[in-house]
Every structure is written in C-alpha cells, then in structure tokens.
Amino acid sequence: MQNRVDRRVGACESGSFVRARVAILALTLLVNAFGCASGRVSNLEAYGEIPMNQVIPYPSQGELRKRAYKIVVVDRPSAGIDEKRLEKPRTQVHRALEAILTQVGATVIDRSLQEIGGGRTEGILGELEGRLPESVSGADYALAIHFSNYRYTSKWKKPFKFLWQSPEEAASKPGTCTHETEVEVDIQLVEIGSTDRVAKTFALEHTAEQENKDLDPVCTIAPVTLGVLFEKALDEAVSCLRAPLGRLLAPRGHLIGHRKAADADRHVYQISLGSVQGIESGDLVEILREQRSMSPSGDESRSERVIVEGRVTDQVMAQASWVAADPAKATDALLKGDVIRPVFAEGLLSSLSGPDCEDILDER
C-alpha cells in the first residue's frame, strides 16, 4: 500500500516538475526573443529624439482620433426554438460578449438598442425594431447572435451484470444516467455602414455532460442542475471568442514618435494608445504597415502586415505610451503613422486548463 502511495506522490511531483520546466522554458524564450526591448525607462528625457519619415498616405485626423471600436450586441431570431427558452441564454451570451469586448478595449454602446426585429435578411442588419437607423449610426460593428440548437438529451445505461449475479440482483442496482446539453450559436461580426457587411462568422458548437447513478431509466434531472449544465456549455463556448475578437476589435493607434538611448542601442517608440484604451506596462503590441489598393470597380481595400512586435514600457499615460522595440528585427523601416495594435493570444494556463476551442469554434 505504501509503495502505491509513493508511486502516486512521485507521479504528481514529476508532473509538477514538468509543468514548472515548461513554464520556465516559455519565460526564457520570451526574454530571449525581446532581449533589451523590454524593461523600465528610468529617464525618458535622456533618450534623444529621432526624426521619423511618414507613412504614405498618412492617416486622416479622423483615423488618428479613432482608437476604440464601438460595438452593439444584437439578437437574431432563431427558427424552431421557443423564444422564451432563449431569454436566459441570450442574456448570458450578451453579458459574456460585453465582458470580452471590454477586456479587449472595445466600447459597448447602449444595451437599449439591442433588440432586433423579426424580418431580418440572413446575416445582414436592418433597422432595429422601434428605432431609427440614426440610433445606431455611432456603432462601427454589431455582434449578431443566432441560436441554431439549444437541446437537452439523456441516456440511461443499465448496470453491469457480473457472471455470478442473477438478473434480479443486477436489476436492483442503479444504472448510469448521462445528461447532455448541446448548444450551437452563430455570432456574426457585422460591419455597419450604408451597406451592412458580414466581416466574420464565429460558429460555436459545444456540449456539457453530467453522469449520475439512477434506478429510474427515465433519468430525471432537477431544473437548477439542467440550467447549470446549459450555462457551462455556453460559458465555455463563448470564452473561445476572446482571442479572435481581441485580434479583430482591439484598439488601434498609430506610431507618433521615436527616441534612442544615448549610451545604448535601445529604441523606444511613442504610440497613441494609453491606459484609457487598456494599455498596461508589459503588454505586447504589433506595429503594422497598412497597404491600400483600388479594385477595377473603384472600391478601396486595405490590408496589413506585421513589421515588428514591441513591449510596452513603464511609460504609460492616459492616451499615449512608449514601446520598446528593436528596429533591427523589423521587416521594414518604422514610419510615423504606422498602425499599432495590442496582441491578444490565449495564455499558457488557459490553453492547458480551458476548453478545447479547436473543436468548439469554427471561423469563416
């Protein structure tokens, strides 16, 4: 018995040791990747100003002022599902999405505008019921929620019968009830304009299960327990949207200044994002080059490519901050007016302990 306990303890210690080594390795790689492009800036005035060339075309005043996206969360009708059954799950998804949007630095507009009429064109927002179109003209995007499945099933498995047991003895033992809740939700990111455009669709499909012993093959479940199972499935599913929504809806600033340490090859760049936009010391940001092109029909399209990543220093103000970056690692010269975007990625802990988002989320 003692040997078995020792083996279990040894296994736990071995697992903890491996996890600790993985964490240390990840930290070491991170430090090596950035080298001196991180840490404190004890005296910013000691850094000399470096003139910068401007990106062409230079962002307009409206683009320079626009930092955070404004989002409205709306509901689309769900055919075949009782609307009353969806009242609670819709509220749950609304709150979860609003929390994610706040975390990534977006602005959620008035919830009173979040009722959607029944006569919607698939995937495209029309006028909000009882509201003028001007009521939501301030929103940049809408997140439209559509439930396609919200179902509960149960299955009873009879108890295992040993060879020496009679059928009566086996029947007197409880079987196993498996309760399963299944949710399927499509959340569309709709770009609001003169012609609404679906920019992205996130298809979430997830289940939550619970097993218990029961003599009754009917497999009854308490309403409270059933509600908790549905909440668990939805919470885990919607949590998979933090990284993709962060990449799409994170605040966007611009590169506005460059300084270099006098006694070291250390560069810091001023960006037009600060604590008001959720920027904190130590955050990772991307510096991107925006490229514009014109189609034969005259429509302008924009694309972006990452030039280099940087780390926010301890110099963080309300509407601006300083980022340490190594220009030698940049794929192109850094220019005044280049786009800045915080990097949102799934953390190591959540990737190990959270839901399997690769199975839950489908982006299209």
Segment 299-325, tens digit of pLDDT:
777 788 999 999 999 999 999 999 999
d(CA 248, CA 251) in angstroms, rounded, equals 9
The whole-number pLDDT of residue 9 equals: 38
The DSSP result for 80-94, as a single string, is: TS-GGGGHHHHHHHH
Topology of domain 30-64+251-343 in CATH is Thrombin, subunit H (2.40.10)
Q: Where are the domains of the chain?
A: 30-64+251-343, 68-152+180-248
pLDDT cut 90: percent of the chain above it: 50
d(CA 208, CA 14) in angstroms, rounded, equals 31
d(CA 147, CA 43) in angstroms, rounded, equals 54
Q: What is the mean pLDDT of residues 348-352?
A: 54
Two tokens, residue 204: 């979430």
The whole-number pLDDT of residue 351 equals: 56
Cβ partners under 8 Å of residue 91, min gap 6:
none
Q: Which helix (H) or strand (E) holds 306?
A: strand 300-316
Taking 70 as the threshold, does the pLDDT of residue 15 lie above it? no
Q: What is the mean pLDDT of residues 61-68?
A: 89
Place of tokens 């103000």: 317
Q: Give the count of beta carbons closer than 10 Å to the beta carbon of residue 123.
A: 15
Task: Tell me the pLDDT band of 118, cut-offs 50, 70 and 90.
Answer: very low
Taking 80 as the threshold, does the pLDDT of residue 1 lie above it? no
Average model confidence (pLDDT) across the chain: 82
Cβ contact 267:310 at 8 Å:
no
**327 preceded by cis ω (within 30°)?**
no
Topology of domain 68-152+180-248 in CATH is Double Stranded RNA Binding Domain (3.30.160)
d(CA 325, CA 308) in angstroms, rounded, equals 8
Two tokens, residue 108: 């959620």
The whole-number pLDDT of residue 197 equals: 85
Q: What is the mean pLDDT of residues 28-45?
A: 60
Phi, psi of 20 (to 5 degrees): -65, -40
d(CA 80, CA 75) in angstroms, rounded, equals 15
Cβ partners under 8 Å of residue 138, min gap 6:
70, 109
Q: What is the mean pLDDT of residues 170-181?
A: 88
Task: Tell me the pLDDT band of 11, cut-offs 50, 70 and 90.
Answer: very low
Taking 60 as the threshold, does the pLDDT of residue 119 lie above it? no
Amino acid identity for residue 239 in this structure: S
Q: Which helix (H) or strand (E) holds 239?
A: helix 223-239
Alpha-carbon distances of 237 from 66, 179, 364, rounded to whole Å: 31, 18, 16
Task: Tell me the pLDDT band of 293, cut-offs 50, 70 and 90.
Answer: confident
Alpha-carbon distances of 83 from 79, 80, 87, 230, 351, rounded to whole Å: 9, 9, 7, 16, 34
* Top-confidence residue, 239 or 197: 239
Residues facing 267 on adjacent strands: 260
Q: What is the mean pLDDT of residues 37-59?
A: 86
Range of lowest pLDDT (21-35, 79-93, 184-198)? 21-35
pTM passes above 0.85: no
Q: Give CA angle at 149 (147, 150), nearest 5°.
A: 95
* Top-confidence residue, 278 or 33: 278
Cβ contact 355:237 at 8 Å:
yes
Q: Which helix (H) or strand (E) holds 238?
A: helix 223-239
Taking 70 as the threshold, does the pLDDT of residue 12 lie above it? no
End-to-end CA distance of the chain: 54
Place of tokens 């998804």: 93
Buried b vs exposed e over 196-219: b needs ≥16 C-beta within 10 Å? bebebbbbbbbbbebeeebeeeeb
* Top-confidence residue, 110 or 37: 110
Task: Tell me the pLDDT band of 112, cut-offs 50, 70 and 90.
Answer: low
Cβ contact 306:286 at 8 Å:
yes
* Top-confidence residue, 201 or 351: 201
Chain mean position to CA 168: 54
Q: Which helix (H) or strand (E) holds 34?
A: helix 2-34
pLDDT tens sequence across 21-35: 444 455 444 444 444
Q: Which helix (H) or strand (E) holds 145?
A: strand 141-157
